[in-house]
A = this chain, B = another copy of it.
Amino acid sequence: MMKENRIHNFNPGPAALPLPVLEEIRESFLNFRGSGMSITEVSHRSPWFDEVINDAVARTKRLLNLNDRFHVLFIQGGASMQFCMIPMNFLKEGQSADYVDTGTWSTKAIKEAQILGKTVNVPASSEDKNFSYIPKDISFDRDAAYVHITSNNTIKGTQWGSFPDTNGVPIISDMSSDIMSREFDASRFGLIYAGAQKNIGPAGVCMAIIREDMLEMIPDTVPSMLKYSTYASKNSLYNTPPCFAIYTVQLVLKWIEESVGGLKKMAEMNQKKADLLYGFIDSSDFYRGTAEPDSRSLMNITFRLPNEDMEKRFVQQALENDLGGLKGHRSVGGCRASIYNPTPLDAVEALVDFMKTFEKKG
């Protein structure tokens, strides 16, 4: 159906972006900051783009309170490319790494390490209950090269509330679906990576935040484009970066910092949105949340209706009411509302109103 106006967008990624960001991109699209060129036309080795990438890096460091030991990198290929880069860079022969399996994306990360012939241990998995929870009290291997976790599980609707004690072993986390959604202590992480297209930007760029000591582990036999050190030593400008995507990330970070007021405020807003939606689901006998309450994601709210027929009608009628992207992932079915940073509270209010109406009228 053709929409004349913008809809409430609950897509899991690519996902909603802040309207002021989209408006600023449109406004300056033919002449970027007095360059006489579009942001898609300026050189990546120009003062215009230097300002974009340096500002994006500086804002990331401020927002996450990173010290000087961290590098902020922009890499192509999404989180999926990180799944192979990580073992290529950090897992030598004779070593092993611990991967916690919390569903789809964790499972893929494990698979890619195994394709490379690397030794992976899985000290904890929630597969026994269809990945509906985050494992607790995990015993990690003190000699592991690293511990890999997925901080938020987009498809299963679960999220690590706090991060595990790994006995000093560096944590590597895929934060694609909750980066910049809350405050946390980054210092225990060796590497944080996040495809931008959920919380901080459009598809086409992956942010990687790497701690200095990790760069020393990288063997010479890794191709230049697959080495984190290549990006760290060249401020992500070894070759032409995805300029437009990085520019959009810059604007979203600026929006988080200046309009929202930082990560504490961002987290409060995200909590409020999730509380509203979970609160309604819990008060209803018609809708049923699928994740265990203590493992619920604040980003991806997964729920079921009494039967699949109703779920189909729900998604369809929601779209007719300008609420898009509510279908669950094809691998699990059901419904899902993704409410990342840019999703405003009024979108969630509109969704809850619709859910009430649908429950009554069907």
Contact = CB atoms under 8 A, between A and B. Distances in A.
B116 A221 contact: yes
Interface string A173-208: 000000000000000000000010100001111000
A9 interface: yes
A14 B44 contact: yes
A226 B80 CA distance: 10
Interface in A26-47: 26, 29-31, 34-38, 40-44
Interface stretch (A242-250, A253-261, A271-279): A242-250
Given A78-B240, A242-B245, A38 B22 contact: yes
Interface residues of A, number: 72
Nearest to A49: B14
Given A37-B324, A242-B242, A42 B22 contact: no
Contacts of A203: 40, 44, 240-244
A6 B3 CA distance: 32
A30 B41 contact: no
Interface string A296-328: 000000000000000000000000001011000
A284 interface: no
B14 A226 contact: no
A122 B324 CA distance: 55
Contacts of A34: 1-4
A9 B37 contact: yes
Given A7-B37, A14-B243, A203-B244, A224 B115 contact: yes
Contacts of A224: 80, 83-84, 111-112, 115
Contacts of A197: 240
Contacts of A221: 115-117
Q: Chain copies in the assembly? A: 2
A3 B31 contact: yes
Interface string A205-246: 100000000000000111111100000000000111111110
A149 interface: no
A6 B223 contact: no
Given A44-B14, A203-B44, A204-B204, A6 B37 contact: yes
Given A3-B31, A242-B242, 5 more contacts: A6-B31, A40-B248, A76-B77, A80-B239, A83-B223
Interface of A: 1-7, 9, 11-17, 19, 22-23, 25-26, 29-31, 34-38, 40-44, 76-81, 83-84, 88, 111-112, 115-117, 195, 197, 202-205, 220-226, 238-245, 248, 322, 324-325
14 contacts: A9-B37, A14-B40, A36-B324, A40-B202, A76-B77, A76-B81, A76-B204, A79-B239, A84-B225, A115-B221, A115-B223, A204-B204, A204-B243, A245-B245
